[in-house]
Structure 1
Amino acid sequence: MTGTTSMPAADPEAVRPGPAGAPPSPAGPSSPAGALDARSVSAWFGERKVLDRVSLEMPAGRVTALIGPSGCGKSTFLRILNRMHELVPAASLAGEVLLDGEDVYAPERRLTEARRDIGMVFQKPNPFPAMSIYDNVVAGLRLTGIRASRAEKDRLVEECLTKAGLWREVADRLRQPGGALSGGQQQRLCIARSLAVRPKVLLMDEPCSALDPTSTRRIEQTIRELVDEVTIVIVTHNMQQAQRVSDRCAFFLAEQGTPGAVVEHGPTEAMFTAPVDQRTSDYVNGRFG
């Protein structure tokens, strides 16, 4: 992986550098939602360990929410799931990430394939501002080497914008710049762009944190509608949102300078009504964080 460092000698885990980027693979047929399985994932930035042996199953066709205070490694963990962690200078990691039983970090697995199978929606909407709404949606095809005819692109644009809950609002102005949309519309455009390459998993890093309540409700509705066909893993600091949109939760915590770790995970209802660990109860009930 770019800019990896060796792990501190005292730690017995073996750091696994990610391979350099590879050319994209041809498009395959639309795939059903995939199951993610993180096994003993640890992460470092230089000599600083930020995650410690995180193991978490994220079932296919479900929404898994990652909750916990700022600085406990949730976003780092999310970026490890689709190999974005390796883009950070001096970053390294140990452990495994399996998508439907196959190692995302396997040397023979192309980076573009991993990114196509496991899409990402960021905290701040990031459409290509000078690019049209239409071209924003199909941009991922070119980046991942997927070829499509104009008719196929037309169908794909309508399909993905519809799934993202945006088609009715923009159908008559597809050639206008994506950057001219409102913040909430831009975030849904980014979701549509991610869906265009037929991912098995969609990662969302606080996708509603910069949005107004109306846009937040629409994004949450979109998440619940999408989960029938794509697995979703979402980082959120909004406990009500976690309860509304997720099927399962994982509570991350970093205490007194220690690396982030998962305290508890399980069905969302149980996590909020009958958590096993007192720290989980304290956090979800607003006593800290």
Structure 2
Amino acid sequence: MIDIPATAPDTTGSAPAGSTADTAVLPAVTSAPAPARLEARAVSAWFGTHKVLERVSLDMPAGRVSALIGPSGCGKSTFLRTLNRMHELIPSAAMSGEVLFEGEDVYGAGRRLTDARRRIGMVFQKPNPFPAMSIYDNVLAGLRLTGTKASRREKDELVEECLTRAGLWKEVRDRLRQPGGALSGGQQQRLCIGRALAVRPRVLLMDEPCSALDPTSTRRIEETIQELSGQVTIVIVTHNMQQAARVSQQCAFFLAEQGTPGGIVEHGATEQIFGSPADSRTADYVAGRFG
């Protein structure tokens, strides 16, 4: 059990009587759920009347790392946000097509938005821990948002497990009550990964998670991604070709040409995309001749 001073406030306490926390329980912290297969079928996206994606289809295998590469403005991040319905948060945004989570459309009738966000987590480009909240409470923030009830021991075990999986436990285990905002940029990003893992997602989306970090922090995040590979399905947007080659097992190259909506030019095994791409535009991009 984690040694937390008795005087420390517990901002992740149980919800008031009558809330959903009275019936929700924390999944067993000793066994994370299996990674899930995600599949996009003919996904198109708009901002108002501006179409930014044109019928994108991609299979993201369970327990693998899929990298989305391509120049700025080709729709990679928009596509990523359609996968867990975050695209809906943007005013005037719309989409068509299907996103299948283990064969079931997350946009299907009767499918709840909260279910998609819980099963398909997200880590953003800029680390966004709750700055005034402790490291410990940052990890558990998702439990409050989902109304999940847990004992003190379950919370302690979950914090240790998630920070360990995020590669941060050894660095912060003696200062769990210090503010998350006091950590370095790379540590904050790993804290955000730990926070995302706490609600037991089976897929984890990462939108350029290293773009704001120094090389040392970037290397540690990449090590974390490699360690998580196999435990959770990961889809990562990156502009760093070397990073895509290092961390992923498959790549999808996006491109938007001459004002047309973005789409996938080519996708396949990472070794093939970087070693012997079928399309000359892919070869030019991975070689650094444009973008």
What TM-score do the two structures reach when normalised by structure 1? 0.90
For residue 221 of structure 2, the aligned residue among 214, 219, 222 is: 219
1:42 is paired with a residue whose SS is strand
**In 2, distance between residues paired with 1:226 and 1:141?**
21
Contact 1:34 1:59 in 2 (8 A): yes
2:288 is paired with a residue whose SS is coil
Equivalent residue for 2:244?
Answer: 242
**Superposed displacement of residue 66, structure 1:** 0.1
Structure 1 residues 66-75 or 137-146, which shifts more? Answer: 137-146
**In 2, distance between residues paired with 1:62 and 1:208?**
19
For residue 87 of structure 2, the aligned residue among 85, 88, 102 is: 85
For residue 272 of structure 1, the aligned residue among 271, 274, 282 is: 274
**In 1, distance between residues paired with 2:85 and 2:45?**
12
**In 2, distance between residues paired with 1:250 and 1:109?**
28
**Superposed displacement of residue 227, structure 1:** 1.2
Cα deviations by residue, 1:168-206 (Å, 9 ceiling, x for unpaired): 110000000000000000000000000001100000000
**Superposed displacement of residue 39, structure 1:** 0.1
1:257 is paired with a residue whose SS is coil
Matches within 5 A, 1:6-85: 26=24, 30-85=32-87
**Matched AA of 1:142:** R
Cα deviations by residue, 1:142-176 (Å, 9 ceiling, x for unpaired): 11122111100000000000111100110000000
Matches within 5 A, 1:91-170: 91-170=93-172
**Superposed displacement of residue 213, structure 1:** 0.6
**In 2, distance between residues paired with 1:227 and 1:145?**
28
Cα deviations by residue, 1:247-277 (Å, 9 ceiling, x for unpaired): 0000000000000000000000000010000
**Superposed displacement of residue 283, structure 1:** 0.2
For residue 202 of structure 1, the aligned residue among 201, 204, 207 is: 204
**In 1, distance between residues paired with 2:151 and 2:92?**
41
**Matched AA of 1:68:** G
**In 2, distance between residues paired with 1:145 and 1:267?**
40
Question: In the alignment, is residue 231 of structure 1 matched against residue 233 of structure 2?
Answer: yes
**In 1, distance between residues paired with 2:214 and 2:230?**
26
**Matched AA of 2:168:** L
What TM-score do the two structures reach when normalised by structure 2? 0.90
Contact 1:82 1:118 in 2 (8 A): yes
Q: Which runs of 5+ in 2 are unaligned?
A: 1-19
Contact 1:82 1:115 in 2 (8 A): yes
2:195 is paired with a residue whose SS is helix
2:144 is paired with a residue whose SS is helix
Equivalent residue for 2:9?
Answer: none
Cα deviations by residue, 1:46-67 (Å, 9 ceiling, x for unpaired): 0000000000000000000000
**In 2, distance between residues paired with 1:228 and 1:103?**
23
Instruction: Count how many residue pairs are aligned between Structure 1 and Structure 2.
Output: 267
**Superposed displacement of residue 107, structure 1:** 2.5
**Superposed displacement of residue 111, structure 1:** 1.2
**In 2, distance between residues paired with 1:144 and 1:41?**
28
**In 1, distance between residues paired with 2:40 and 2:192?**
26
Contact 1:52 1:259 in 2 (8 A): yes
Contact 1:113 1:144 in 2 (8 A): no
> Cα RMSD between the aligned structures?
1.3
- 4+ runs of 1 displaced by more than 6 Å? none
Contact 1:34 1:201 in 2 (8 A): yes
Q: Which runs of 5+ in 1 are unaligned?
A: 1-22
1:76 is paired with a residue whose SS is helix
